[in-house]
Structure 1
């Protein structure tokens, strides 16, 4: 955990723009985070590891599935940051497509998909009622697809996601020393 703390502390000033951005250092730091996340992190918390000096709370084991999802989420974001580091603080742009020389005669026009009307402000704030229930749960996305999409983001966006994952985990599963 010390390696994670030190790495986050090293990368934070770059992400905030207070020190020059270095894609190599960001990529290496992301690899350190990824190397301590996922299964590696889970291996640090075997049953009964609350004995002795620890910051861990017993909820780690009663909510193991959620804790494991956070550990994997951290790995996914860190792996993506290792790849996306060259994007810098701006998202990567897709490569331009040259369509001038293409034969367009076989291209069929498909109708636009039906678009949901979205949420009202009251619904977003929890005051309005929605006729359709939307459920989002951790672990519902295919990690490979998620990681692919994430690599197009700006490094600071991914770093923010890493920080939020750490914060979420700490708020649920970290306590003071015993």
Structure 2
């Protein structure tokens, strides 16, 4: 046994704490990162916040799921502001973006696409297209203009939503 006293986490080097945070955010069943956990871990302290938002591995694949906003006034705007802040904060780290829009509200997808980094390689839009179908040509044009590095675009119906899983690892 080691006779040295235990080390407090504040004594660990930033690189080691960052690796621990990334390891804690890995989903053991799929082996992929759970970005929501990275966000939650960032709330522990200022140091963890800095380390979490600078750990690119936590933000390579981001999934944003818009709930139904219709019942709560102001909910859509608060949700959108939070997600726009997140996209700007993790900017160039995001390579794969999935946006799930279960709401009938218009104007949710466009601001998110405009805030996403231009280096995005994979984009998945998952929604009830019946309500949003008329805006599809504009969304496709916006994606083509905003993301010159895009190699994969997936359009799915909200009922068939699944997260990136294997697609983000390709």
Shorter-chain TM-score above 0.5: no
User: Which has the larger Rg?
Assistant: 1
**TM-score, normalization: structure 2?**
0.26
Structure number with higher relative contact order (C-alpha < 8 Å, ≥ 6 residues apart): 1
